[in-house]
Amino acid sequence: MDLFNINGPEFLKDKSSNELTELSNKIRGFLIESISKTGGHLASNLGIIELTVALHKVFDSPKDQIIFDVGHQCYTHKILTGRAKEFPTLRQFKGLSGFPKRSESPHDVFETGHSSTSISAAVGFVEANRQNNIKQDVIAVIGDGSMTGGLAFEAINHFGQNNQKMIIIINDNEMSISKNVGALSKLFREIRINKQYLFTKSKVPHFVKKLLSNFANTVKYFVDGPNIFESLGYNYYGPVDGHNIKELIRHLELAKNTDKSVIIHVKTDKGKGYEPAQNNKVRWHGVGNYSVKTGEFPNDGVLTWSKLISTAVSKIEDVTVITPAMISGSSLELFEDRNLIDVGIAEGHAATMAAGLAINNKKVFLPFYSTFAQRAYDNILHDIVRQNLHVVIGIDRAGIVPFDGDTHQGIFDISMFNAMVNIKIAMPKDSVEAYMLMDYAFNINTGPMVIRYPKSKVIDKKAVDKIDRPSWKKELTGNNVNIISYGPDVNRLIKIVEKNNISANIYNARFIKPIDHDMVDEILDNGLPTLIYENVVESGSLGQTVISYMSTKSKQINVKLMNIKSIPEHGDVASLLIEHKLDDNSVLEVLRKL
C-alpha cells in the first residue's frame, strides 16, 4: 500500500491483523526515513504505531474522538488520516505541524503540546456529548510519563465515580523524555492482571457474569488486590502487548463494548524498529536530521545555551538542581552524580520543593522550559517569590522557539515574572555574561532570580569580570539612534548597525527587571529616537516597563517597540522572525523611519 494514497482510516476496517502488522512495519520504515530529513519526535512515534493503527481500526474517527496527550506521538495518526504526503514539510514553516492541529484535520479534535491534559479534555468532551445527547466514544491516549503529572490524576479522580463512559489508554514505555521516576513508575512495573479473570469478564454471558461477579471480585481482591485505577472506579485491562495488533484490537473492542469507563494499560517499546533509538531512547526522543544508516547526528558536539548554563551552574558549590523530567532536555547530565532531583512532570511540585530547600539555606537551581514554567505560576509566586526565597530559576527555550510550534513558544515568561515583586530577571548575550550572571545570582543576590536563555548554539568564552548589581551595559556608542535589547539579540543588532553604517547607541539590558534607571535617564538626556527590540509579547515586556518609567519624567522622546503580536507557529527561527517582522530587514526599516 502506498501511504501517500491514504485519505482516511476507513480502509482499516476490512484489513486482517496480518495486513495491519504489515502496514505498521511500512509506517515505521517511512517515519525512520522521513524524520531523518526533517527532524522530529522519532522514538515515541516508533513505539506507538501498532496502538494507533488498532485505535483507528476499532473506532470511527472523527465521530469517536481520540485525544493524544502531549501530541508529539501523533505521526501515525496523521498518516492514517491522510497526511503522509505532507511529511516532507513536517515542522517546517507553513508545513505539517508536529502536534495535533485542528486547522489541519477534523481528526485532530483537541490540540495538545503540554503534558497531562488529555484526560481533563476528554472529560469535557464526554460531558458535552451528554448534554448534546450524542453517543460516541471518547479516548484519551496518555503516556506513563504524563501520568506523573498531577492534572492527569485530578481528572481520573473526578471522573472515576461518574456514570458516563470514557476510555483511557496508558501508553507505558517507561519513559517520558527522560526515564520515568517516582512511586507511580514503580506501580506500573508491578501492575499485573489475572488473565483468567479478564477472560471471564469478556467471554461469559451477562447473567452468568452478574452471578459470578461478587465471587470473582472477592477472589481477585485476595489474589491480586485492586490496583489504584480499579479502586478509583475504572475497569482495568492489561498490561497488553502494544506491538501485538490482534491483542490490541481484542482489548479495544472489549473497551468499546462495555458501558463502564475503562483504562487499558499498553506496554510499548520506545524506538521500536530502529536500533539506535531503542538503544538510546532519551537521545532519540526529539532529533534533528540524522543518518539512517549510521544513526549519527551532524550537529553533535555543538555547544548550546542549555549546556553552557549547566556548566556555569556546575561551578557553584553545594547546589541542588531540581528538574521536572527534563534531565536530557535541559542538559543536566553534568549533575547526575550530584544533588540532581527529577520530580517527574510536576512543575508546581518542583517549585514548592525548591522553596522548601531554599528556606533551609540550600542553594537551588530550578530550570524550566519557558513554556512549561507557566504551569508553575502559582507555586513560584506564592511559595518562592512571596517569601523572597533565594531560588535561581533557569528559563530555557526563551523567545521564539523553532519547529515545535505555538504550544512551545517562550514568549510569555517576562510578562509572567514582571508581574511579581521581589524577583529579578536577566538574560545574558553571550557565555561571558552567562557566567557573570550565574555568579551574581548565587553568590551576591539573596532573593529569587530568573536567568533566561534561548534554544540555540553559543560560542564559549571565559568570564573576565563580575556583575555586582543589576545593571545594563552600553555596547556601542553612536549619534543617531538608541537601541535597547537583551540576550543574543544584542549581538545581532550590533551586526546590523555596523553592516549598514548606522550610528547607534546600543544598550544591553541584561537585567530586564529591575531596569537600569541611570541608563534610561541617559537615553532620555540624549534625546535620540529609541528602539526597544524583544522577541516576546508586548504586554508586561521590558519595553512597557521602560515607557512606564519614562512617563514619570518631564522630558519625552520618540520610542518604538518591536515585539511579537501573535503566537508564532512552527518553523525555523529565520522564517518566524520574518513573519513577525522582527528580522534584520524589518529592524532596518524601523530604524530608517525613526
Annotated catalytic residues are 270, 347, 375
Q: What is the DSSP string of 144-160?
A: TTGGGSHHHHHHHHHHT
* Intra-chain end-to-end CA distance of the chain, in Å: 60
Distance of CA 492 to the CA centre of its chain: 27
Residues paired with residue 449 on neighbouring β-strands, in sequence order: 392, 424
Strands of 193-352 (E only): list them: 235-241, 262-267, 319-323, 340-342
Nearest-angstrom CA–CA distance, 510 and 452:
10
- Closest Cα partner for 357 from 334, 383, 395, 338? 383
Contact indicator for 308, 302 with CB cutoff of 8 Å: no
Nearest-angstrom CA–CA distance, 30 and 49:
11
C-alpha cell recorded at residue 131 = 448534554
Nearest-angstrom CA–CA distance, 240 and 475:
61
Q: What is the residue whose three cell numbers read 551586526? A: 495
- Closest Cα partner for 404 from 273, 242, 576, 249? 576
Nearest-angstrom CA–CA distance, 507 and 477:
9
Cα distances (Å, whole numbers) of residue 319 to 334, 338, 376, 445: 12, 8, 21, 15
Nearest-angstrom CA–CA distance, 360 and 80:
54
Nearest-angstrom CA–CA distance, 304 and 54:
40
Cα distances (Å, whole numbers) of residue 516 to 69, 245, 510: 43, 63, 9
DSSP 8-state assignment for residue 376: G
Nearest-angstrom CA–CA distance, 89 and 73:
17
Nearest-angstrom CA–CA distance, 324 and 427:
22
C-alpha cell recorded at residue 295 = 544513526
Q: Which helix (H) or strand (E) is 44 found in, with range?
A: helix 43-47
Query: For 275-398, where are the alpha helices, taking DSSP H only?
Result: 275-279, 305-314, 347-358, 370-373, 377-379
Give the per-residue SS3 of 137-148.
CEEEEEECCHHH
DSSP 8-state assignment for residue 84: G
Nearest-angstrom CA–CA distance, 470 and 518:
11
